[in-house]
Amino acid sequence: MKIKLLIVVLVFCYGTIAQTITPDNSFGNNGILSTDINLTNDVSKSTVVQADGKIVAAGYSSDGFKDRFCLIRYNPDGTLDQSFGNSGIVITNFVSTSICSEIALQADGKIVAVGHTWGGSENEFALARYNTDGSLDNSFGNNGLVTTSFPGKNAVARALVIQPDGKLVAGGQVYVLADDYDDFALARYNTDGSLDQSFGNAGMVTTSFDLTTKDWINDLEIQADGKLIAGGFSNNQMALVRYLPNGTIDNLFGSSGLVGTLPPNALDARANSISLQSNGKIVVAGFSITGPYSDFTLLRYNIDGTLDNTFGNNGISITPLIQDRDFAKSVALQPDGKIIAGGDIFKDSVFQFAVARYNINGTLDTGFGNNGFISTKANQDLASMNSIVLQADDKIIASGFGGVYPDYDFITVRYAGAAIGLYDPVLYPDNMSIYPNPSGNYIKLEYELNGFSEISIQFYNTEGKLVKSHVDASGKKGKVRELIDITDLPGGVYSISVLASDKLVGSTRLIKR
């Protein structure tokens, strides 16, 4: 009980004392790491943190003739991990030019990368799976590589999610070069890289909001019930679509499965990143354009796709960080319910990295950084952020690229000082415990129920993505003790939430060794 009381006090302190957020001087060069691979165009698009604290950044690198998938693994201090690939760097050639857009970690530590490649007559979805040492996994696809053509259309993948059963879902868009429109596109793969024939049409799904609009998927999430949420934009609006596990549109979400939102006074808006809260609500981060300016823009939706009026202004939070060009690119959820958004701002005549933190209700957390955000000139010429994740010790990892085209470099910045509470006394009631923590392959979870309920136990990673769920429909009451097998989870930090009949019982943080 003493431990729980201490946690509540810490959260109270965090909410009332301003936190000095600075680049972490123990990482790279005063918190900033720049990696030039080929003296040509090198761009980081996605980042993950392994259980051992090593950081994998992925994107693409040019050899002067074509772009290629590129992965770099850093030690926790920012030095290149010599045990990975060729002195810390892995370059993967498809037949033609190829661009990696996102990576994800499997439970066994293998790394999956997704993007697109030129197939000769059209672009195709492209996937690669790597062993923990950076070598291609020959049990996946064709010697570690998979390409998927949507017949007659160009296909570009930008998002990737791994289901609890190990299947992979890639999302992006398809288009015809002669036409001025795009459609949402999904493909689901079995663990060996073959298309899952039980999903959509022979493993593929396309969705059009309108025959004359550009519809792109920028991010994917999986709900506890296995439904997929795709976020991006359509017809200059932030757009979401929810799919049933078999790939058909869920007509109970929004308007026949589709949701489009244009914030007030905005001319254009894009959703770049989505995360699911433990209560099932959907947090969307992107930007909206009003006249010459663009602003960080966050939206929160209820489970049914309606805007959550308890968040921001009727579900929408618009933040002009410096009243210029501000673009949110990535979002992560803290275990205490606060929201971290990362992207770019145009400041002092150059684009810089920017990290902002929001309270649970969508207001800017003015106790974080400089009145709610911090900006970093990670390169004197240009620095553009593409992804943001949280480390086990609450430090923030932001990655992207910087420099002068065509000589961009991978850039990673680590921020220290973003102390996070395990509980928020409002969102997360103090009535659950977990043992042991840190854990091995099993945990004992204990919580209290007032009445018989269907229980859902959900595990979220540091990006706020649902990675494991357990549903018990038998109904329970009183003090409940659960022994849960977490062998399928890779080592790392997780937020565990318990819901009873869709109402939050409690949430805590788990460290798996």
Q: Which residues of 217-235 are buried (b: 16+ CB within 10 A; e: fewer)?
A: bbbbbbbbeebbbbbbbbe
Helices (H) and strands (E) in the chain, counts: 1, 34
Residue 7 confidence class, pLDDT cut points 50, 70, 90: very low
Q: Which residue has the higher pLDDT, 18 or 380?
A: 380
Residue reference for tokens 């259980």: 51
> What pLDDT was estimated at residue 174?
97
> Which DSSP category does 500 fall into?
E
pLDDT band at 502 (very low <50, low <70, confident <90, very high): low
pLDDT at residue number 471: 73
Rounded to an integer, the average pLDDT of 117-126 is 94
**pLDDT confidence bin for 420, thresholds 50/70/90:** low
Amino acid identity of residue 178, one-letter, is: A
Which residues are CB-neighbours of 349 under 8 A, at least 6 positions away? none
The 10s digit of each residue's pLDDT in 362-371 is 999 999 999 9
Distance CA 431, CA 417 (A): 28
Percentage, residues of the chain above pLDDT 70: 91
Q: How many CA atoms lie within 13 A of 361 on its CB side?
A: 4
Position 19 scores a pLDDT of 66
Give me the pLDDT at residue 11, please: 34
Where are any strands of DSSP class E within 50-92? Answer: 55-62, 67-74, 89-92
Quote the pLDDT of residue 196.
98
Question: Which residue has 């059209």 as its token pair?
Answer: 122
Euclidean distance between CA atoms 330 and 338, whole angstroms = 14
Range of lowest pLDDT (54-58, 171-175, 327-331, 443-447): 443-447
Q: What is the CA radius of gyration of the chain?
A: 22
* Of 258, 202, 203, 266, the residue nearest 230 (C-alpha): 258
- Which residue bears the tokens 């990535």? 330
Residue 16 has pLDDT above 80, yes or no: no
Residue 39: DSSP 8-state: S
DSSP state of 313: B
- C-alpha 381/C-alpha 417 separation (Å) is 27
- How much is the pLDDT for 9? 30
Which residue spans within 359-488 are E strands per DSSP?
373-376, 383-390, 396-404, 407-416, 432-435, 442-460, 466-485
Among candidate residues 282, 306, 399, the one with its CA nearest the CA of residue 45: 399
Q: What is the pLDDT of residue 276?
A: 93
Of 389 and 472, the structure prediction assigns the larger pLDDT to: 389
Lowest-confidence region among 98-107, 425-434, 496-505: 425-434
Give residue 477's pLDDT. Answer: 72
Query: Is the CATH number of domain 432-512 2.60.40.1930?
Result: yes
Q: State pLDDT tens for residues 434-449.
A: 878 888 888 988 887 7
What per-residue confidence (pLDDT) applies to 295? 96
Confidence of residue 157 (pLDDT cuts 50, 70, 90): very high
Q: Is the pLDDT of residue 463 over 70?
A: no
The residue whose two tokens read 């618009």 is 318
Q: For residues 92 and 98, give the distance between their C-alpha atoms in angstroms, rounded to a whole number.
A: 9
- Would you state the pLDDT for residue 14? 37
Q: pLDDT band for 474, please (50, 70, 90 cuts).
A: low
- For every residue of 226-277, DSSP letters joined together read S-EEEEEEETTEEEEEEE-TTS-B-TTTTBTTEEEE--TT-SEEEEEEEEE-
190-207 pLDDT, tens digit per residue, is 999 999 999 999 999 999
What's the chain's average pLDDT? 88
State how far the Cα of 335 lies from the Cα of 332, in Å rounded to an integer.
10
The more confident residue out of 290 and 180 is 290
Residues 202, 172: Cα–Cα separation, whole Å: 17
* Residue whose C-alpha is closest to residue 305's, from 387, 361, 245, 223: 223
* Strand, coil or helix: 383: strand
